[in-house]
A and B are shown apart, each in its own frame.
Chain A
Amino acid sequence: QSALTQPPSVSAAPGQKVTISCSGSSSNIANNYVSWYQQLPGTAPKLLIYENNERPSGIPDRFSGSKSGTSATLGITGLQTGDEADYYCGTWDDNLNTVLLFGGGTKLTVL
């Protein structure tokens, strides 16, 4: 069981907006920056968001990130069928202090 809690699944219709939450604690999310990764079926994870709300080059602005207290949120607008994937949050943990801590992942279904 991960120290970062994500909902196992979310769903929404094409064109709609969806949010995915990542809940942590004072030793991880509250004190550090959050990143988000998209894993399409059968492929390696891909960086979507880093440092809470920054997008790497090539990531469309339909993807956004935010953080408040011990929680972070990934938002996806204008949903497309190609967005159907697993999404993972990640952050540093002051107690672990060695490797990136991942959330358990959320399966996004675009209905």
Chain B
Amino acid sequence: QVQLQESGPGLVKPSETLSLTCTVSGGSISGYYWSWIRQPAGKGLESIGRIYAGGSTNYNPSLKSRVTMSVDTSKNQFSLRLTSVTAADTAVYYCARGRGHCIGGGCSYYFDFWGPGTPVTVSS
């Protein structure tokens, strides 16, 4: 059974950089997409972006200028950096495994395994 675990500081100061790591166990990081999703308190889910095991990335256009994702296959980890944070970036951050493909009927993409989430507060 694949398991994911987020780690990183729970408190970040405004204008600084949020850095989180997700460690994958119970399976290889190769061959899948790996994503970050966030959820402000009492609100819905927002996709931040994804990275393929080979290193290619896709980011939510609304966050693209501030987001960088990376992967370390030797450690079975992938990471998120979000720069110039504000209070609006306060949320629970989840990492998840993405699976998908595009065929005649369209594109299928979904998250089959999730980490438990880590709360991040942006405050001075």
Q: Is B60 an interface residue (CB 8 A)?
A: yes
**In the complex the two chains form, is B110's CB within 8 Å of A50's CB?**
yes
For the complex formed, measure the closest distance between the CB of A3 and the CB atoms of chain B, giving whole angstroms: 12
Residues of B contacting A92 with CB < 8 Å? 100, 106-109
Contacts of A100 on B, CB cut-off 8 Å?
Answer: 35, 47, 98, 109-111
Within 8 A of B (CB), among A75-111: 88, 90-92, 94, 96-105
Query: Are B112's CB and A47's CB within 8 A?
Result: yes
Counting contact residues on chain B (CB < 8 A from A), the size range is 20 to 34
> Whose C-beta in chain A lies nearest to the C-beta of B110?
A35
Please determine whether B106 and A33 come into contact, CB atoms closer than 8 angstroms.
yes
Residue of B nearest to A97 (CB): B58
Q: Is the CB of B44 within 8 A of A56?
A: no
* Bound CA span A101–B48, Å: 10
B115 touching A44, Cβ below 8 Å: yes
Known: A45-B45, A47-B112, A98-B60. 9 other contacts (CB 8 A): A32-B106, A32-B107, A44-B114, A45-B37, A45-B114, A46-B114, A88-B45, A90-B111, A94-B107
